[in-house]
Structure 1
Amino acid sequence: MEHQENLLEVNDTLVIEFFLLGFSDIPNLQMLLFGIFFLAYVIILMGNGIIILITRVDKTLQTPMYFFLSNFSFLEICYVSIIIPKMLMNIWTQNRNISLFECATQMCFFLVLGSTECLLLAVMAYDRYVAICNPLHYPLVMNGRVCIQLVTGSWTTGITIQIGQTYQIFSLPFCGSNQINHFFCDIPPIFKLACGDTFVNEMSVYIIVVLFITVPFLFILGSYSKVISTILKLPSATSRARAFSTCSSHLMVVALFFGSGIITYFQPKSKHSSGRDRFLSLFYTIVVPVFNPMIYTLRNKDVMVALRKLLP
């Protein structure tokens, strides 16, 4: 594999091009990896596309819960499309160069969409909390206007902050190697290439992680602790089973997504392992999005009924 030399400006301190190593350390498996990731991308697009379609077509699914689910599915499509197409192109062409601007753009969109996903998962937990703990007030509390405001807030809240964080990270000087030991421009591998003291930048990342990952995660745990407590008090076993089925899918997604994200971003730079970072990143950028449509459809009777109506 031919590595192209990095281009440096003026005094060899400002890198304007990076080289995404990806999975180049296993050259014999490149086409196998391409096939696996391409199949995963197709599954994500089709699975989430079907969810968006049936929630729009089937009138029984035009409720706040499925409104949030359709938005979540659209978000998942955007989220993986920032990473997988570029990764597939790199594997297919073996041209792994990425400009500094393209790298910064990819990171910015990834952070904005990742933040949106965290907030939207918290909104979905709040929806289940109101539906199960305050069912009589549910139609009033979760009216159409409120649902749109919650979704809009989730999409827009992190934009300014994450653009600022991306600018701060790429304002760092990069010298020496321009090889990113990762398959996309994530924060930990970029920090490893930075020269000088990155303490302030790392503290900034931790603060934003607390705001967009830890706080929503704790909010979700608090909401579901009350939800589970309410469910256990229901007199009917059928009612308990139905309530658990609508919540368990969301809890599984939350555990997978937040768990891998917290482990990745709460470590100091010196503790990051390239192999482990790549594995965790694969988990929350590809593995979890692949299983999300399955979790939300196969474990949901209403969605399965709507799907059967849609299929000939």
Structure 2
Amino acid sequence: MPVPQHTFDPPFNIVRASHAVLDVVDLDASRAFYETTIGLHVEDADANTVYLRGSEEHQHHSLVLHKATTAACARLGFRVGSDSDLDRAASFFAAHGIVHGFVERPFQGRTLHATDPFGFRIELVAQMDKRPHLLRRFDLYKGCHPQRLDHFNVFAPEVQDTINFYARLGFRLTEYAEEDGENGRIAAAWMHRKGNVHDFAITNGAGPRLHHFAYWVPNPMNILHLCDVMASSGYLANMERGPGRHGISNAFFLYVRDPDGHRLELYSSDYQTMDADHEPLRWSLRDPRRQTLWGAPAPRSWFEQGSVFPEQEVRPALFSADVRIAD
């Protein structure tokens, strides 16, 4: 399948991944997990919603937990450059028959909701309430000291079309995994807007579903410390995969599951891709190092489970990729 060409003049300017909105069943349990164990800072909370952020972030929140009857990923939030980009986005969505509408959200400026052609529910915002960052408030550090939201990874049944759509919106390809041979199909793509490896990763699989969202931490020792914290605070069974290192993105990683089963990656040691002539790195699907450079192999749950989007039917992938996984 073709590698998408970068679009330097997209119809509107997405700056980066901004925030995730999760529906959770037990709000108190989820708050305790993210605040006390992971180490995010609670900025505001009421009986139905908790807003959290990392210590480096000036924006009011990068994670929203909303009390619901069923666990789901309500929205994936992206920051755009200006209010005028919201208007351009609305015009683009209207011209392409994409369901969208402006909504009011606490602590955010004008907010545009859309459901992309593949069922991913996204939220675009240009402005959010500001808060002083907590980078030097070492007295508040908990868990693995998460600094900032880094990226989303999704299961997409129409993986090539999804890649092409987001490339049209200005997302740049940094790495991709592809079958060998003349007609090899792309099974996963890592795409960015902010100049590191990815803001949005698109993986072949039953969907639309969220595979994981990720917070960047200062170094691998923070991840190792979190392993100790989780093992000694009743969350040992929530550690799904890792620690280890991916070949893709060079990431030192740990995947954990929150009380509702949403998957969170703690992530460090990636690299910058800001230059316009950065060439995407191809990985063969027969090369297990892409997935596990070192570390224990991923469990079956990591390949099969994800968070659904409300009111979106999960469709099977269009093809079954010829993949070799680490033993």
Question: Of Structure 1 and Structure 2, which has the larger fraction of its residues in helix?
Answer: 1
The TM-score normalised by the length of structure 1 is: 0.24
Q: Max radius of gyration: which structure?
A: 1
TM-score, normalising length: structure 2: 0.24
